[in-house]
Each structure stands twice: as C-alpha cells, then as structure tokens.
Structure 1
C-alpha cells in the first residue's frame, strides 16, 4: 500500500536493548513526549492482552483532535500495535529487533483522514507531513538513549 498517502514507515537504531526500548514505549506518557502533535494522553486503562486503552488529543495546525487508542498487540520485547479510533483513525505498528548496536525500531502507520481534510491540503502534503511526523518520533526515541541527555 505504498501508494496510500496516509501510510508511512521508517526505522531507526536505538542504543539500548529491545527490553529497555519496549518498556519505554509501553508507557503512554512517553508517547506524548516523543510524538509531535500528541498533546495529551489520559483515561489510561489496562487491557487483558497486557496493552492499554487510552484517550488522546492530537494537535494539528492549532486544532485539537480527540480520539481513542486501543493496543491490539502487546508482545514484549518485540512488538506494540495500536488501533486509532475517532476522527483520526488508523493503525500504528512498532516492531523491535536486536542489532549489534542496540535495537532496530520500525514504526509503520496508516491513517484514515476525513475526505474534507484531503481536499483542503492534498495527498502529497499529507504524505510528507506523515513521513516527517513519523521520522521525528523515531529520532526522539533514539535521542532518549544516545547518552547525550
């Protein structure tokens, strides 16, 4: 689905073992700290699969979009997967694998925006925005473990 303007994926190597990176990503407050535009996470509830359900506010162009995230896969230390529900719907899939220098973290996301949002800004703009946001989140995770903070 590489032609989907709302799909993006990228990877980064994080200087920590998969267990440490998984634990960091397992804490909802850390997602708010590393994800551009994610302004608030609240109403966190534990699920039977080990994951979480929570409400969030995502800010884009000064507008807050509220929704819900449900963790569909919680597989330590290899994978987190989430379903986004609400005005912004889609999926986020975080996969972690050991490499010599730490953990390769792959972030894949697919978003389903309302048609009027696409009509206003156009598919190429949405694609670039999604790719930049995803890359910034990956770089923020890597920066947490690079020893310079």
Structure 2
C-alpha cells in the first residue's frame, strides 16, 4: 500500500473550497494526471459515483470512484476501483476566514512484484501530484478564477 498526504492553506471560506472540490469536473483542472471524468451520478449520501481516466507516465489507468463517506464542508472520501484500487480522502478545516485542506491518497499499485519495484517511483510521482493538485486548488480559489 502506497500512502501520500499533503496539506495546504487556502485563503477562501471552507464552503467555497469544499464546493469546488465536490465537483468531479474540477479535478480534471486541478490534478495534472486526471485526463477525464465521466458518467457522474449523485449518491443518496450526498457524494458521487463516477468513471475516471488517470494518466501515469504515458499509461492510461481507468476505473470508478465512489464516495462512501461524505460530510459536507468537512470530508469527502473516494474509493477507487479498476486499474487502481485505494482511497482518496479530502479533509477540510476552517482556519479563520481560510481553509486547511488535507489530501491523502492510499492505493495499491497494480502488478505484484513489479509494483513493489516501482513503488519508490510511484510514491515520488504521487507526492508531486498531490502537491501540484493542492497548489492548483489554492491558486484557482485565491485568484478568483474558480467558477
């Protein structure tokens, strides 16, 4: 299991930050390796189910994401199934007029023994991906360019 996590402070109210992250289409804008999201369906718990395409070093990985845990303005948990299996957790905490956002990814690499050899690369790649995603989130919301 690979686990990476980062936190960023966004100068925007928690409701705005949560609302932006809660729209799956925004993940294509924020996350460099997410190539597409499609077939987004609302769930009874407030979360969503969707299909995704993730590009890692030129390889397309596809699957589904579903939110088994959804607490408005506090937490969104996505379970990944398909080429990648794991959990993505977004946690939101008010910090005065700003928001502290923690993004944690836990997943298994496909491929057994080869996956173990690739794990150090995957950890570095995904740490960079999380930092970039959070930086993009902060920049979009703080610049006022977020819809």
Asked whether the two chains share a fold, i.e. TM above 0.5, the reply is: yes
Q: Which of residues 139, 142, 145 is equivalent to 2:141?
A: 145
Mapped contact 2:12–2:98 kept (Cα < 8 A): yes
Once the two structures are superposed, the pairs formed by residues 81-96 of structure 1 within 5 Å of their partners are 81-96=77-92
Once the two structures are superposed, the pairs formed by residues 58-73 of structure 1 within 5 Å of their partners are 58-73=54-69
Structure 2 CA distance for aligned equivalents of residues 12 and 34 of structure 1? 14
Structure 1, gaps ≥5 residues long? none
Structure 2 CA distance for aligned equivalents of residues 138 and 19 of structure 1? 16
Runs ≥4 in structure 1, deviation > 6 angstroms?
none
Once the two structures are superposed, the pairs formed by residues 74-85 of structure 1 within 5 Å of their partners are 74-85=70-81
1:116–1:40: structure 2 CA closer, same or farther, 3 Å change rule?
A: farther
Paired residue total: 144
Offset of 1:127 from its aligned partner?
1.3
Q: Which of residues 91, 95, 98 is equivalent to 1:99?
A: 95
2:8 maps to what in 1? Answer: 12
Offset of 1:61 from its aligned partner?
1.6
Mapped contact 2:109–2:119 kept (Cα < 8 A): no
Q: Which of residues 117, 123, 132 is equivalent to 1:127?
A: 123
TM-score between both structures, scaled by the size of structure 2:
0.92
Aligned-residue CA RMSD (Å) = 1.5
1:48–1:148: structure 2 CA closer, same or farther, 3 Å change rule?
A: closer
TM-score between both structures, scaled by the size of structure 1:
0.90
Mapped contact 1:13–1:101 kept (Cα < 8 A): no
Offset of 1:147 from its aligned partner?
2.3
